[in-house]
Amino acid sequence: MAVTRADVEAVLGMLQKHMASGDMDAWTALFSDDCEFRNSAMSEPVTGRAALRALAESWPRVDNQPEWHAIDGNRLVLGWNERQESMKESAPRYRGFSTFVFDESGLIRSYEGMFDTAAVFAAMSA
């Protein structure tokens, strides 16, 4: 079965809803068992839903604001800006983008998050 644009948009909405609420069980349920996660701050990828779930538990809560997205077949690119909730309101927001590749069943098989780590550290010290 081919993943449709409507399928990708529906998962995007659920990703944002579950991340905003902090429901990491529901968030990671959107990923395949054998998913792979890469991040600009990590030297090695994280493989598997359980490993991604464990990693996500360590992430600080953030106020994430999607800015734009593009969909091409089973691929989604999402541009965003965010600030960790523990930061001062006056701290600058930092930007990045994430890519998602969906498998035939509509689950996320590959997820990559890219951001400027220097901008994150500057916002943390503001």
Domains belonging to the chain, first-starting first, are 5-125 (3.10.450.50)
pTM, two decimal places: 0.88
What pLDDT sits at residue 47? 97
Q: What is the pLDDT of residue 79?
A: 93
Percentage of residues of the chain with pLDDT beyond 70: 94
Alpha helix ranges (H) inside the chain: 5-21, 24-28, 49-58, 117-125
pLDDT digits (tens, 9 = 90+) for 26-77: 999 999 999 999 998 888 999 999 999 999 888 877 778 899 999 999 999 9
Residues in the chain: 126
